[in-house]
Amino acid sequence: MNSPLSRRTTLQAAGVIAAAGLAGSLVGTTQAAAADDAGTTGDSVVIHPPLPKVPVNNSFTVKVRPAGGTWQKLGVYLAKLAQIDPNTGSNRPQNSSWAAFDFSGTVEVEVTYNPGGGEKVRIRPDSYGIKPEVLGSTARFTLDRPRNVVVQVDDKIFDCLHLFANPLEKDVPAEGDKKVMYFGPGFHTPTDKILKVPSNTTVYLAPGAVLNAHVNIEGAENSRVIGRGVLYDSPVGAMFIRKCENITIDGITILNPRYENVRVAESQNITIKNLRAFSHQGWGDGIQLYCSENITVDGCFLRTSDDCVALYTHRWDFYGDTRNITVKNCSLWADVAHPINIGVHGNSENPEVLENLRYENIDILDHREPQVTYQGAIAFMVGDSNTVRDVRFDDIRVEDFRWGQLIHLRVEYNPKYNTSAGRAIESVYIKDLSYNGKNADLSIIAGLDAEHAIKDVTFENLRVNGRVIADSGGKPAWYLASDGVPMFVNEHVTNLKFLTTAEAEAAAS
């Protein structure tokens, strides 16, 4: 059973909400909590208290209501995003919008684009199949489950709304618990802007909480960072997890970190769930994993100024293999670099391995990278004597991106980042990958030489603009299946297959 809202927390939230002119939302909060305790939530909506000192953005007005209920207004906040000038390399930060709420059952959403226009409104990811009702500058749509969506008006890339519709919170930690670092609604700045988290501790960021800090979790086990609050304006990377075991990150939003959002190194049994993260400065990766095992990234929305999810082995003073990684149910948007990046950094003196990597049910919304050798919505750039093997992709949907390649698999030596060439890419199975668009440049699969090669890569039911790419047909007999992507494959790639689903099933039987 969930802990009920304390009288202090209830009154504190009520005061903050009333001051913002959002009276009435506390009723929804209390009712939702009570209903959740009873185990019968029905249709309910929870509006979060305002986020102090987090800049707002007035491009959008957003209202939500339980199906047929009373409209309630959400706070809409500023997200800064990156746009790299390909001629100068300069980064021109762009303004965007985001909002969040919790709900159960069915919720109706109304979004008004305040500058006007709005002849075309697109709700992304496209795979959700959400078709809004549009009247002038206002669009309405319904959600029947938690979603992270982007409301895009007239194809505007930056002046859009990122809307995070959360499930209701469960098992909320109790304020005053000795094992809980409880941050209620308000702005919180720890000493030196660093929050160190010990073992067996829950950090709870309540709705309306803003934590202005770098969260450091080192040498700890059985700890969590959870809630609906915001980790804001971290002076370095937002969160660092090292030499830890059994750590959970769940439900928070990260805004404006100085560098990466989350870095995990030399750790085991880590779960990163329902994380929403934005970045606009250089090296603003979403989630970096180094030398770690048994990691799950689930249900996250990452819009970043570098790789969304990057997997490495050795770098700096991190050592060890990376294995048993699952990334699933995520939406990835790389304003710079790659949505998925694997294998750049490793240990040339004592080679390491990245293996048993799983990517499932992922929407790639955008990829923009001007540098040809750094492109790839899905990128293996294997250097530093790394071997990458036993990798599986299932149900990956790639929407048309601005600039780059669909697939980039290379064993390489890049003097900028590597001290040696990668060793190999082996046993990669890519099932139900689809790309719909016209902007993709030539994809690449290339080994470096005969000793640094790629082998056993299979595509099953690869679809490009609805066309299945297969060795067996649907093309002139003298064409390669890879020409249909289109894709360049060099002589250091062996046992590359393009199969239909029927062919794959027949081979497996």
Closest listed residue to residue 413, CA positions, set 444, 443, 384: 384
Q: What is the DSSP letter of 34?
A: H
- CA distances to 101, 296, 341, 345, 381 from 321, in Å: 39, 16, 16, 11, 16
Average pLDDT over residues 198-203: 98
Tokens of 124: 């992304």
Average pLDDT over residues 288-303: 98
Q: State what percent of residues in the chain have pLDDT above 70.
A: 92
Average pLDDT over residues 202-216: 98
What is the 3-state secondary structure of 416-463?
CCCCCECCEEEEEEEEEEEEECCCEECEEEECCECCEEEEEEEEECEE
Q: What is the crossing angle of helices 25-38 and 7-19, to 10°? A: 150
- Indicate the pLDDT class of residue 119, thresholds 50, 70 and 90: confident
257-286 tens-digit pLDDT: 999 999 999 999 999 999 999 999 999 999
Tokens of 312: 């490495």
Average pLDDT over residues 287-312: 98
Window from 18-27, 96-105, 108-117, 483-492 with minimum mean pLDDT: 18-27
User: What domains appear along the chain, each with residue ranges and CATH number?
Assistant: 7-167 (2.60.350), 320-508 (no CATH)
| Mean of all residue pLDDT scores within the chain | 92
pLDDT of residue 473: 80
pLDDT of residue 183: 98
Q: How many angstroms separate the CA atoms of 205 and 196, rounded? A: 15
Average pLDDT over residues 363-371: 97
Q: How many angstroms separate the CA atoms of 48 and 132, rounded? A: 24
Residue 366, C-beta contacts closer than 8 angstroms, at least 6 positions apart: 157, 333, 334, 335, 339, 399, 401, 402
pLDDT of residue 41: 57
Average pLDDT over residues 92-99: 97
Whether the predicted pLDDT of 34 surpasses 50? no
- CA distances to 12, 408, 419, 422, 423 from 450, in Å: 66, 19, 19, 12, 10
Q: State what percent of residues in the chain have pLDDT above 90.
A: 90
Question: How many CB atoms lie under 10 A from the CB of residue 335?
Answer: 27
457-487 tens-digit pLDDT: 999 999 999 999 999 988 899 999 999 999 9
Whether the predicted pLDDT of 40 surpasses 50? no
Identity at 129, one-letter amino acid code: G
Tokens of 232: 């804001």
pTM: 0.92
Average pLDDT over residues 130-134: 97
Whether the predicted pLDDT of 31 surpasses 80? no
Helix (H) / strand (E) containing 123: strand 121-124
Torsion angles phi and psi, residue 506, rounded to 5:
-65, -40
